[in-house]
Amino acid sequence: MAKKIQALRGMNDFSTLDTVVWQWVESNIRKTLSSYGYGEVRNPIIESTALFKRGVGEATDIVEKEMFTFTNRDGELITLRPEGTAGCVRSAVEHGWIYNNEQRMWYMGPMFRYERPQKGRYRQFHQCGVEVFGINDASADAELILLTANLWKKLGIDKAVHLEINSIGGQESRQKYRDALVTFLEQHLDILDEDCKRRLTTNPIRILDTKNQDIQAVLNNAPKLHDFLNEEEKSHFAELCNILDSLNISYTINQKLVRGLDYYNKTVFEWITSELGAQGTICGGGRYDGLVELLGGHSCAGVGFAMGMERLVLLVQAVNSDKDFANAIDIYVVNQGDKAKIKAFELSDIIRNNLPKLRVMQHTSGGSFKKQFKRADKLNAKFALVLGDNEIENSEVILKDLQNNVDQMNIKEDQLIETLQNIFYKG
């Protein structure tokens, strides 16, 4: 046998059993987004590297060390998208979708980051991202949070997640805070690890979400970001909190929540679960009012989030472990003989066309009736429709309930649809 070739590290294959859960999650997401009036955009998976360097930020982990970057045949530097916001904004600017226009958009698809794989963290993963353009008011931030809260209920995971929010202000406030934080941390250089020492010069605010507990203890006495916000930023955040309180959406304010991408200002938020171990953030986002301009557009407010689909699916499976996501086969069409085979093709399609909600699978690999019924059992089919020489002769079919111990029925061919309708659609 030839040597097997394996998938690349951090890349997953999903079986037909896995995708049943994915499809269930995706369809709930699509329905929810549609019910809020959001529309789908589709962007390329590859963009020019410059987009992410400028959009996500040179001093972020993503751009510094996680991008899959290549030179194409023309010598152009291109990158597999590590996230969706930069590409979405690029497309909106390029085509004028947000010029003087409010827009509510979403996208779903694969993203790529060269990270160390572990449960919930992969090199190819999937996001569903949602972006709202042209609305300065905190109502847009609140709408996004409300939308996610409703989605968690539909997915049955609302009891397993909690919301953290923060305001990181605008550039000016952040610069002042950054200076104060650096001055504070310079008095504690002895406890900083190598990574934090490096960040002290490149991106000091990111030190706030270090996992190092000793540094976290020192950070408890560090200057607080909210003391540096201006009045407008403070009132924007107060308005968001006010709406969330009025809608009974619980949250904690985490002043150390700063997010790993450079485009954010004002609101940032994350939905976190403790069910998945270290990779517990299932959804993260915030406001990015300067990004459209940074990428060559006219000034335009933006706010959005992305959910990690793998983490959502893992959480849905962990919380709903008893739920049967699979749509079992409703009717397995058992057939023997050449005429019965052709009739099986015809009747299967007649059922599918008349009763489109039913899942009808035809047995196509021959063999005894016994073998065919075994296959139906393996598929957990609800009914078998049986066609043999006798049935063809009498223009009949046999319908056998495979899950309840009741007598099989002989049904005239022209009565079949009505009978199935009574069984599957009534009661």
Burial of 138 from C-beta contacts in 10 A (0-12 / 13-18 / 19+): buried
Q: What is the nearest approach in angstroms of ligand HAM to the Cβ of residue 310?
A: 5
Residue with tokens 């994350």: 270
**Closest residue to ligand HAM, based on beta-carbon distance:** 308
Choice between 109 and 260, CB closer to ligand HAM:
260
CB of 210 to ligand HAM, least distance (A): 16
Residue 106 binding ligand HAM, by CB under 6 A: no
Q: Kindly state whether residue 125 participates in binding ligand HAM, applying the rule CB under 6 A.
A: yes
* Residue among 135, 282, 295, 399 that touches ligand HAM (CB under 6 A): 282
By CB under 6 A, which span of 42-50, 68-76, 80-88, 381-389 interacts with ligand HAM?
A: 80-88
Site mask for ligand HAM (CB under 6 A), range 309-328, x = bound: -xx-----------------
Q: How far is the CB of 163 from ligand HAM (least distance, A)?
A: 13
**Contact indicator for 216, 210 with CB cutoff of 8 Å:** yes
Can residue 104 be called a binding residue for ligand HAM (CB under 6 A)? no
Should residue 283 be labelled a site residue for ligand HAM when binding is judged by CB under 6 A? yes
CB of 273 to ligand HAM, least distance (A): 10
Q: By C-beta, is 125 or 237 nearer to ligand HAM? A: 125
Among 113, 174, 236, 266, binds ligand HAM (CB under 6 A): 113
Shortest separation between residue 345's beta carbon and ligand HAM, angstroms? 43
* Residue 129 binds ligand HAM, judged by CB under 6 A: yes
Q: Are 273 and 282 in contact (CB under 8 A)?
A: yes
Does 167 interact with ligand HAM (rule: CB under 6 A)? no
Which tokens sit at 350?
A: 């007649």
Tell me how far, at minimum, the Cβ of 161 lies from ligand HAM, in Å: 11
Interface residue with ligand HAM, options 196, 225, 240, 306 (CB under 6 A): 306
Find the helix or strand (DSSP H, E) in which 69 lies.
strand 69-71
Distance of CA 113 to the CA centre of its chain: 16
Residues 242-271: x/- map of binding to ligand HAM (CB under 6 A)?
------------------xx----------
Choice from 106, 168, 308, 384 touching ligand HAM (CB under 6 A): 308
Binding segment toward ligand HAM, per CB under 6 A, in 43-51, 90-98, 214-222, 307-315? 307-315
- Contact window for ligand HAM (CB under 6 A) among 41-49, 117-125, 186-194, 381-389: 117-125
> What length does the chain have?
427
Instruction: Give the Cα separation of 157 and 159 in Å (integer).
Output: 6
95/106 Cα distance (integer angstroms)? 16
CA distances to 149, 160, 425 from 280, in Å:
16, 11, 41
Q: Does residue 83 bind ligand HAM (CB under 6 A)?
A: yes
Token code pair at residue 163? 């919301």
Closest CA to 286 of 394, 395, 163: 163
Is 57 an interacting residue with respect to ligand HAM (CB under 6 A)? no
Phi and psi, residue 211, nearest 5°: -90, -10
307-311-315-316 Cα dihedral, nearest 10 degrees: 70
The structure tokens listed for 196 are 């934090």
CA distance 262 to 72: 27
Measured CA to CA, the distance from residue 309 to residue 18 in angstroms comes to 12
Q: Taking CB under 6 A as the rule, does residue 115 contact ligand HAM?
A: yes
- Min dist CB 134 to ligand HAM, Å, is 15
**Spatial CA neighbour of 21 closest among 323, 328, 360:** 323
Strand 124-133, strand 161-167: pairing? unpaired
Query: Does 137 sit near ligand HAM (CB under 6 A)?
Result: no
DSSP string for 239-287: HHHHHHHHTT---EE-TT---S-TT-EEEEEEEEESTTTT--EEEEEEE
305 near ligand HAM (CB under 6 A): yes
Residues that bind ligand HAM (CB under 6 A): 83-85, 113, 115, 120-122, 125, 127, 129, 131, 260-261, 281-286, 304-306, 308, 310-311
